[in-house]
């Protein structure tokens, strides 16, 4: 990296902060006193939020990044806010995107730990319980202890559940959250080379398993690592590939890459839903000798024999239809067994049972909302954002960063009696796809399914500057910028 490249990178990142309305002073706070503060050379003024005198009781279910950022935005936007957040977890605001870096030994597990209580905005009431019943006709939410809480406006930001129980052989019968009680899952996932970065302790165990895997390859043994992507919507769709790239990087670092086979088994038929990124990722896989098999869904694991079983599925031409004068299409499938030394599981994911089966849920579990206004399709004073919202894309922290502003603007418009909801979510999603230790492809897109880069650079190229953004800037910007309700 030369001085010219560094200067250009600094200017790009600084321009990004300007676009987010973050001043130089605030940006310096985000970076803290570390050397990363040098990335910020100039700044812009923070865009002020006009406080509204509107009144109404707001209840937010979920105190993670999306929910607590929404609470902070409301406190900035209302003269006399009445806000209650329902969240049982002590560490709900922890930085989940960093779990990939923990899983590859780049960050310590503690680097992504943040206490929920530290981010409750002043004046907001926190109820440390789980919301278990929803009665939108009576505008009430009931907690696990039986406490009934009324509201004028409800915002659902409850995240999702990890459903390892759908995979036979693991012996897991319950769903978990990223930061919830994971004892039952951790008895299996984290041992015998079986790993998952999708829950906090799992990320720590992934690094331990990865080191053992690399050591075996370094000793001269031929080893096999497999990485899965399930047949359900998931948060951070790029993470299954990120941890694979990082495993490749660690093997190369150890001089042991030639002794390892790395294989990706996604349920779908593409690397990425945006064709430009799909093509770029395939080229990157080919360059690294990383292989893939599309249309494979993990259905079982033999933990002792270390064999993963996939349902391989495909379409083929069927019988001739005399009436339609065309061939039908038949769905075919077969079981495929694959031995492994290292297995990274991306578990099936679902909405929390108490939400999915409630009046505000849906047959698929997710909260059905208008994809632009994020307003519930049936209950007009109910909104949803983040992983729980039934929108076509957007189960990423970067999406929530756009969504929470839309929700706050639209709820306040309703509180003020306006007939139209002024704010629209355009489907913005961002995936900083880590491609090695030192490079990232910054994949940004929206509902057009076309690249929508924030920077004047080819977004399909992996660059060191995006590594700096990912490792040094995004966590503080997310944790302190979003959770202040401003970024």
Interior angle at CA 78, CA 75 and CA 79, nearest 5: 110
Mean pLDDT computed over 76-83: 96
Q: What is the pTM of this model?
A: 0.90
d(CA 171, CA 187): 9
Task: Indicate the SS3 state at residue 150.
Answer: strand
Question: Mean pLDDT lowest for which of 25-34, 97-106, 230-239, 471-480?
Answer: 25-34
What residues contact 232, with CB distance under 8 A and at least 6 apart?
163, 348, 349, 350
Query: Residue 44 — pLDDT band, cuts 50, 70, 90?
Result: very low
- Which pLDDT value is given to residue 327? 81
d(CA 179, CA 196): 13
- Which pLDDT value is given to residue 285? 98
458-484, pLDDT tens digit by residue? 999 999 989 988 998 888 888 778 999
Interior angle at CA 336, CA 333 and CA 337, nearest 5: 160
How far CA 3 is from CA of 9, 36, 242, in Å, comes to 10, 16, 29
Catalytic: 236?
yes
- Which residues are bridge partners to 195 per DSSP? 344
Return left, alpha or beta for 219; rule: phi > 0 is left, psi -120 to 50 is alpha, else beta: alpha
pLDDT at 403 > cutoff 90: yes
Best CA proximity match to 91, nearest among 58, 117, 110, 55? 117
What residues contact 315, with CB distance under 8 A and at least 6 apart?
329, 330, 331, 332
- Residue 233 main-chain phi, psi, to 5 deg: -60, 145
Instruction: Please count the residues of the chain.
Output: 487
- Which pLDDT value is given to residue 161? 97
What residues contact 134, with CB distance under 8 A and at least 6 apart?
140, 141, 142, 154, 354, 355, 358, 359, 360
H or E element, residue 250 = helix 239-253
d(CA 208, CA 17): 36
Question: Mean pLDDT lowest for which of 48-52, 133-137, 203-207, 338-342?
Answer: 48-52
pLDDT at 5 > cutoff 70: no
What residues contact 484, with CB distance under 8 A and at least 6 apart?
72
285-313, pLDDT tens digit by residue? 999 999 999 999 999 999 999 999 999 99
Dihedral (CA of 98, 102, 107, 109) sign: positive
253 alpha-carbon distance from chain centroid = 28
Percentage of the chain exceeding pLDDT 70: 90
H or E element, residue 467 = helix 464-468
Out of 60, 271, 400, 431, the active site residue is 431
Best CA proximity match to 395, nearest among 429, 360, 439? 429
Percentage of the chain exceeding pLDDT 90: 80
pLDDT at 103 > cutoff 50: yes
- Which pLDDT value is given to residue 16? 54
Query: Residue 328 — pLDDT band, cuts 50, 70, 90?
Result: confident
Out of 170, 236, 246, 391, the active site residue is 236
pLDDT at 170 > cutoff 90: yes
- Which pLDDT value is given to residue 11? 62
pLDDT at 37 > cutoff 70: no
Query: Residue 3 — pLDDT band, cuts 50, 70, 90?
Result: low
């Amino acid at each position: 990296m030369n001085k010219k490249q560094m200067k250009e990178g600094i200017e790009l990142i600084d321009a990004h902060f300007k676009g987010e309305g973050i001043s130089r002073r605030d940006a310096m706070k985000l970076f803290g006193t570390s050397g990363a503060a040098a990335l910020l050379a100039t700044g812009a003024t923070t865009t002020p939020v006009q406080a509204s005198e509107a009144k109404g009781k707001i209840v937010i279910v979920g105190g993670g990044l999306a929910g607590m950022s929404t609470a902070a935005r409301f406190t900035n936007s209302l003269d006399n806010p009445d806000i209650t957040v329902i969240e049982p977890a002590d560490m709900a605001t922890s930085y989940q995107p960093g779990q990939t870096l923990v899983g590859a030994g780049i960050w310590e597990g503690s680097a992504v730990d943040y206490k929920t209580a530290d981010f409750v905005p002043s004046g907001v009431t926190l109820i440390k319980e789980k919301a278990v019943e929803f009665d939108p006709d009576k505008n009430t939410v009931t907690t696990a202890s039986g406490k009934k809480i009324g509201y004028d406006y409800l915002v659902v930001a409850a995240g999702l559940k990890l459903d390892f129980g759908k995979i036979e052989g693991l012996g897991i019968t319950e769903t978990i959250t990223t930061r919830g009680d994971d004892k039952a899952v951790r008895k299996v996932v984290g041992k015998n080379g079986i790993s998952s970065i999708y829950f906090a302790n799992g990320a720590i165990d992934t690094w331990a398993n990865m080191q053992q895997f690399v050591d075996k390859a370094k000793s001269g043994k031929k080893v096999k690592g497999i990485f899965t992507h399930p047949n359900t919507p998931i948060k951070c769709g790029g993470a299954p590939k990120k941890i694979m790239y990082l495993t490749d990087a660690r093997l190369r670092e150890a001089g042991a890459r030639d002794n390892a086979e790395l294989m990706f088994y996604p349920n779908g038929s593409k690397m990425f839903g945006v064709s430009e990124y799909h093509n770029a990722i395939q080229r990157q896989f080919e360059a690294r000798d990383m292989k893939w098999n599309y249309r494979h869904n993990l259905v079982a694991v033999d933990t002792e024999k270390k064999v993963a079983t996939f349902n391989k599925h495909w379409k083929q031409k069927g019988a001739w239809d005399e009436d339609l004068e065309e061939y039908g299409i038949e769905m075919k499938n077969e079981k495929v067994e694959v031995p492994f030394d290292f297995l990274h599981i991306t578990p099936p994911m679902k909405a929390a049972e108490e939400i999915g089966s409630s009046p505000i849920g849906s047959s698929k579990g997710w909260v059905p909302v208008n994809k632009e206004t994020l307003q519930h399709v049936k209950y007009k004073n109910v909104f949803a954002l983040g992983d729980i919202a039934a929108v076509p894309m957007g189960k990423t922290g970067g999406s929530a960063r756009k969504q929470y502003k839309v929700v706050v603007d639209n709820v306040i418009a309703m509180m003020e009696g306006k007939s139209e909801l002024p704010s629209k979510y355009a489907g913005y999603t961002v995936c900083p796809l880590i491609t090695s230790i030192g490079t990232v492809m910054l994949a940004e897109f929206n509902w057009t399914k076309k690249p929508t880069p924030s920077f004047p650079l080819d977004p399909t190229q992996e660059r060191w500057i995006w590594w700096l953004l990912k490792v040094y800037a995004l966590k503080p910007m997310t944790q302190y910028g979003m959770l202040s309700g401003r970024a």
